[in-house]
Amino acid sequence: MPFATEAVVLGLSTGPACVAFCGPVLAPLLAAEGRTLRGASARLAAFLGGRLVGYLMFAAAAWALGAAIPLHPGPRALLSGAMHLLIAGMLAFAALPRRKPAPCAHGCAGCPHEAGERFRTAGPALLGLATGINLCPPFVAAALRASESGSLAGALLFFTLFFAGTSVWFVPAAGLGLLGKLGPAVTIARIAMAVMAAWYAYLGLFGILGGLIHA
Amino acid sequence: MPSQAKPPGRSAGKSILLTLPVLLWSLIIFSRSMLVKGAAPKIAALLTLVFMVTLFFLMVRTRETYRWRRIFFVTLGVLFPIGFIAQLLAMRGSMSISMEKMIAGDTPFCFMVIPMVLIPAALTRTVIFPGSILPSASNPHAIAAMIALWLGATIVLGKGWCSYGCFFGGIEEGFAAVARKARIKKIDERWRWVPWGVLVAIVLLSLATFEPTYCSWLCPFKTVTEFAEVRSLETAVQTGIFLSLFFGLVVVLPWLTKKRAQCAFFCPFGAFQSLFNKINVFEIRIDRKKCTDCISCRRSCPTMALTEASVTEGKTLITCMKCGACVDVCHKDAALWHIKGTEFGKAPERARLLYLYAAWLFATMFGGTIIAGGIQTLIQFAA
C-alpha cells in the first residue's frame, strides 16, 4: 500500500478510537461553549487545528529523535503527564461558571479581553494541542510508522494524512453545540468537565510521578 | 381555607382481599426456601413473607405509601450488606477482591454499571466489566441476569427502581430518617444537575478507557460491598475516595439534610434511570385547583424532584422516584398518583394500587430475597 494511502487508511480505521479518547474533553466542551451549530463548528475546527499542530510537532520529534526515544516509558510518561495536567487545568477553567462580564475598558462588544471570552476562542485550540500530543494507541501506531519515513517531510505528510483520516469521525461532534441552547445542558457539561478535570489531574500527577521513577 | 380531610383508611376485610395477590406471590417466591434443609432458611423466608405481606396490607389499609415503603427499604439497605459481606467472607474470606479473581470474572455485576457498558457494548460487542455473562457456581450475580431483571423492572416502574429496587438507597434513607429535623434546609437547586454531569463524565471516560470508571473510582457503596485489594498507591487512592464519598454522601449529608443526598446530588445511575420515567405509565401530578402552594410536598421530597416551577406546572421533575412522600404529606389531596393516558384526578387511588402491585411484586422477588438472605445470615451468626 502506498505510504500516503496507508496514512489515510490508518487514520480512518483508528478514528473511532481517537474520538473515544478525545470525547471526554471535546464533548462537554462543545456542549458548554458551542451554543450554536456554527459556534460549535468553529470550536471544533479550532480543536482539530490544535490537534494537527500537536501531531506535526510530535511527527517532527519522532523523525528527528527516532520513535524509540519519545516512546521510551520515562519520557512518554512525563510527556503524557504534563499534557494531562494541562488538560486538567483547562477543563477546570472551562468548568467555572461564567459571570456576566463587566463593561469593557476597551469599549468593545463581546470583549476578547475578557478571560472567559478569550478561553472560548483559544481554549479549544489549546485542548486540541494537548490531546494531540496525548499518546493514545492509534497515535503511537502512527508515530512508529512515521518514524520509518525517509525524511522529515515524509513524517509530517504521514501525520497530516493520518490526521485527515481521523478527523472525518469528529465532524458529527459539531452537533453537540445544539445542546448548548438548553440551559441545563450547559450546567451539566460544566459539571462533567469538572469531573474530567479531576480525572486528568490524577492521570497527570501519576504520569509525572511514573515518568520520574522511570527516569 | 378549611383543611380537607384525607379519605379514611380502608376496611380490614377489603384490605385483606386486596393483599391476597401479594400473599400468593410471596408464597411462590419464598416456598423454595421453605424446602431447603435447615431451620435458618425456613425461618428467614417465613419472617420475610410475613414482613412483606404485612407492609403491603398496611399500605392498602392506611392508603399511605411512603412510611411503609421506607420500613421495607431501610430494612433492605441494612440487610443487603450483611448478607452480601457474609457471602463474600464465606467464598473468599475477605471483602476485597484480587486482580486475578477480577480478571477471572468473579466480580458480581451490579446494576450501577449498566449506563457505562451500553455504548461500548453497542460499538464493539464487548462488555467492559470483568464479570461473567451467564451465572456460574463462583458468581451467581451474572451480567445477563442482572440486566434482564433491571430492564423488566425499569419498564414497569421507571425511576421507581430507586425506591423499591436499589439496595444502596435504603442505607442513606435510613441515615436520613435518623435525624428528627434537617440541619441544612436551604439547598441550591443547581446541585440536582450533578448526577447528570457525573453520568456524562463516566460514560465518556468509560468509552475512552474501556473500564467501568464509576466502579473503579467513584462508587461510595464499595465501602459496604466489595473493593479491589489495596496493593498499590492507586488502589489506596481509590479506597480513600470510596470511603470519603460513602461517609460524606451516604451517612453525613442525609443526616444533615434529611434527603437522599447521594441519590439527589451524585448518583449517575439515578440520572440514567430518570430517563425511563419518560416511557413509564405511572406518574405523580399536582392538581393545581387543589394546591395551596404550602410547599410541604417540596419539603418532603427526598430527592428534590419538585421545584417551585414544576409544582406550578402541576408536575414532578423527571427525577421523581415515585416514593409517594409528596402524596402522603399533602393535606389537600393535590398530589395524586396518575396513569398516563387516563383522565387526571379521576381514580388516583386505583392508579396508586396498580403501581403498588407492580412495585411490590418486584420488591418481594428482588428485595425480599435479599432481606431473607440477610435474616438467614443473622440467624446463622446467632446460632
Q: Closest residue of B to A19, CA-based?
A: B208
Q: Residue A28: which of B200, B217, B237 has the nearest Cβ? A: B200
A-interface mutation test, from B207, B245, B267, most A Cβ less than 10 A away: B207
The answer to whether B194 faces chain A, any CB pair under 8 Å, is yes
- CA torsion sign for B168, B171, B176, B177 is positive
What chain B holds in terms of domains, given with CATH numbers, is: 7-94+347-383 (no CATH), 96-280 (no CATH), 281-346 (3.30.70.20)
Distance CA B132, CA B144 (A): 8
Q: In this model, does residue B4 exceed pLDDT 60?
A: no
Q: Closest residue of A to B201, CA-based?
A: A192
The answer to whether A168 faces chain B, any CB pair under 8 Å, is no
Name the band, by pLDDT with cuts 50, 70 and 90, for residue B109: confident
- Block residue for cell numbers 495536567: A85
Q: In this model, does residue B6 exceed pLDDT 90?
A: no
Q: Is residue A104 part of a domain?
A: no
Angle at B164 between CA B158 and CA B166, to 5 degrees: 90
pLDDT for res B35: 84
The answer to whether B12 faces chain A, any CB pair under 8 Å, is no
Residues B316-351: tens digit of each pLDDT: 999 999 999 999 999 999 999 999 999 999 999 999
Q: What's chain B's average pLDDT?
A: 92
Residues B160-173: what's their mean pLDDT?
94
Cell numbers linked to B207? 468509552
Q: Residue A191: which of B194, B205, B213 has the nearest Cβ? A: B194
Going from the C-alpha of B152 to that of each of A21, B120, B169, B251, the distances in angstroms are 33, 22, 19, 31
pLDDT for res B2: 41
| The amino acid at B179 | A
Residues A78-88: what's their mean pLDDT?
89
Name the band, by pLDDT with cuts 50, 70 and 90, for residue B291: very high
The answer to whether B65 and B324 have CB atoms below 8 angstroms apart is yes
Task: Mention every residue, 6+ apart, whose C-beta is less than 8 A from residue B284.
Answer: B316, B320, B322, B324, B326, B327, B335, B336, B337, B338
pLDDT higher for A207 or B286?
A: B286
Distance CA B262, CA B243 (A): 13
Q: Closest residue of A to B238, CA-based?
A: A202
Least confident piece of the model among A23-37, B50-64, B339-353 = A23-37
Distance CA B284, CA B287 (A): 10
Q: Do B204 and A187 touch (CB under 8 A)?
A: no
Q: Is residue A46 part of a domain?
A: yes
- Block residue for cell numbers 529523535: A65
Residues A151-201: tens digit of each pLDDT: 888 888 888 999 999 999 999 999 988 887 777 898 999 999 999 999 999
Whole domain around residue A24: which residue ranges? Answer: 3-99+110-214
- Chain B from 119 to 178: CB within 8 A of any A CB: 123
> Which residues of chain A make contact with B197, given a CB cutoff of 8 A?
187-192, 194-195
Q: Do B201 and A192 touch (CB under 8 A)?
A: yes
Residues of A37-54 as b/e, b for ≥16 C-beta within 10 angstroms?
eebbbbbbbbbbebbbbb
Q: Closest residue of A to B194, CA-based?
A: A191
The residues pairing with B284 across neighbouring beta strands, listed in sequence order, are B337
Q: Is residue A63 part of a domain?
A: yes
Q: In this model, does residue B138 exceed pLDDT 70?
A: no
Min CA distance, B205 vs chain A (Å)?
Answer: 6
Number of domains in chain A: 1
Q: Is residue A27 part of a domain?
A: yes
Q: Do B193 and A184 touch (CB under 8 A)?
A: yes
> Which residues of chain A make contact with B202, given a CB cutoff of 8 A?
195
Distance CA B359, CA B78 (A): 20
Name the band, by pLDDT with cuts 50, 70 and 90, for residue A53: very high
Q: Do B197 and A194 touch (CB under 8 A)?
A: yes
Q: Is residue A11 part of a domain?
A: yes
Least confident piece of the model among A149-158, A170-179, B51-60, B203-212 = A149-158
Name the band, by pLDDT with cuts 50, 70 and 90, for residue A207: confident
ipTM rounded to 2 decimals = 0.88
Name the band, by pLDDT with cuts 50, 70 and 90, for residue B1: very low
Q: Do A202 and B237 touch (CB under 8 A)?
A: yes
Per DSSP, B295 falls in state: -
Residues of A64-94 as b/e, b for ≥16 C-beta within 10 angstroms?
eeebeebbeeeebbbbbbbbbbbbbbbbbeb
- Chain A from 21 to 60: CB within 8 A of any B CB: 21, 23-24, 27-28
Residues B142-146: what's their mean pLDDT?
83
pTM of the complete model: 0.90
pLDDT for res A107: 62
Q: In this model, does residue A109 exceed pLDDT 70?
A: no
Q: Is residue A22 part of a domain?
A: yes
pLDDT for res B342: 95
Task: Mention every residue, 6+ apart, whose C-beta is less than 8 A from residue B244.
Answer: none
Q: Residue A188: which of B193, B207, B237 has the nearest Cβ? A: B193
Task: Mention every residue, 6+ apart, whose C-beta is less than 8 A from residue A173.
Answer: A19, A26, A27, A30, A40, A44
Percentage of chain A beyond pLDDT 70 is 84
Task: Mention every residue, 6+ apart, whose C-beta is less than 8 A from residue B34.
Answer: B41, B42, B45, B46
Name the band, by pLDDT with cuts 50, 70 and 90, for residue B3: very low
The answer to whether A201 faces chain B, any CB pair under 8 Å, is no
3 state SS of B376:
helix
Q: What's chain A's average pLDDT?
A: 83
Q: Do B200 and A192 touch (CB under 8 A)?
A: yes
